[in-house]
Amino acid sequence: MTVRVGVVGVGNIGSSHALNLARVVSGSAVSVLFDADPDRAAALAADLGARSVRTVPELFDADDVDAVLVASPDDVHAEQLLLGLPAGKPVLCEKPLATTEADARAVIDAEVGLGRRLVQLGFMRRFDPGYVQLKQELTAQGIGEPLVVHNVHRNTSAPYGLVTERTLTNMVVHELDIGRWLLDEEYASVMVVAGRPGPLTPDGQHDPILVVLRTASGVVVEVEAFANAQYGYEVVCRVTGSRGQAVMGDGSYITRSTSFSRGVDLPELWLGRFAEAYRLQLQGWVDAVQGGEPFPGATSWDGFAATVVATRAVEAYRSGGWVDVVLPPRPSLYAGPDVGPRP
């Protein structure tokens, strides 16, 4: 059975997902598109042999839609999920789940109310071969007990205009998730150090920033996030362990030597650096939808947890001090293996 996917939001990342689903991923087709800009949806639909609709509920309810991919702007994810979840269809939602804790909680409550895990969250780094290898190093035979995680996350230019709080909810949210995934534990506290601003930083904002977290067991996780780094897109994760270190990022590019110099090319955008992760994420999701299997990626609980920590980080940025992170109890829906949604 071909999984017919409806795509909500066909800007940068949404159109890239739609093209992948239509042309690269096996077992999927793109049937219906929605975008806040109807002309944009109609133009891509014409390219893909799909159709476009004017509202989000129309897309979720359509008979020719088996599963939905949500790739709209960050702050409407929750609203659109709440509109669509009652249709009972599997959803792959781009990160973040929401930009506020209340919105993220509303999605969790809706899923718990339906009694089914319908949402996989698009934390695609969990599918990246580099991060997967890094996680495999965190064993007694590898680098031993993880003690410190150093992350670097640089965008060529801020995709949302430079607003420091959005650096936390849009960019750093990736490291908040990857830290939980790598270490298999929750954060206990967070602080944000805002230093000397780079030349493109608007008044009253900070860029780069350093986010420092402590996990429940005391592992220190830090993230240098630089939204207007200018020189290229770069993501590095270095884990210091009790018997060694493992680094993801430094070595993931080809080093070329020409004209008496040696260097590497950097991508301009994450779509280049994480192309394989995006593809593997989509293929895993489509396979799971086809087979009625549990989703292979992050759940909406993971999205909720990351949004709670990002919200505490925003408070820490405003106050300049440490802020405790406490997650509410995890609903039983998110414990143990899922039976998997069926189209």
**28 is an interface residue for ligand ISE by CB under 6 A:** no
**73 is an interface residue for ligand ISE by CB under 6 A:** no
Measured from the CB atom, is 135 or 174 closer to ligand ISE? 174
Strands (E), the chain: 3-8, 28-34, 51-52, 67-70, 91-94, 119-122, 146-154, 187-194, 209-215, 220-226, 234-241, 244-248, 256-258, 261-263, 298-299, 323-324
Closest among 213, 211, 223 to 187, alpha carbons compared: 213
Sign of CA dihedral 160, 162, 163, 167: positive
CB of residue 270 vs ligand ISE: minimum separation in angstroms?
4
**156 is an interface residue for ligand ISE by CB under 6 A:** no
**164 is an interface residue for ligand ISE by CB under 6 A:** no
SS3 call for 282: helix
Name residues contacting ligand ISE, limited to 245-284 (CB under 6 A): 270
DSSP 175: H
User: Of 40-48, 56-64, 168-176, 179-187, which segment contacts ligand ISE by CB under 6 A?
Assistant: 168-176
Other Cβ atoms within 10 Å of 3 Cβ, number: 21
CB of residue 318 vs ligand ISE: minimum separation in angstroms?
21
Closest among 219, 253, 69 to 145, alpha carbons compared: 219
User: Of 28-36, 42-50, 77-85, 170-178, which segment contacts ligand ISE by CB under 6 A?
Assistant: 170-178
**170 is an interface residue for ligand ISE by CB under 6 A:** yes
**305 is an interface residue for ligand ISE by CB under 6 A:** no
Measured from the CB atom, is 157 or 188 closer to ligand ISE? 157
**131 is an interface residue for ligand ISE by CB under 6 A:** no
Tell me which of 11, 86, 159, 343 binds ligand ISE, using CB under 6 A: 159
Distance of CA 316 to the CA centre of its chain: 22
- The residues binding ligand ISE (CB under 6 A) are 155, 159, 170-171, 174, 270
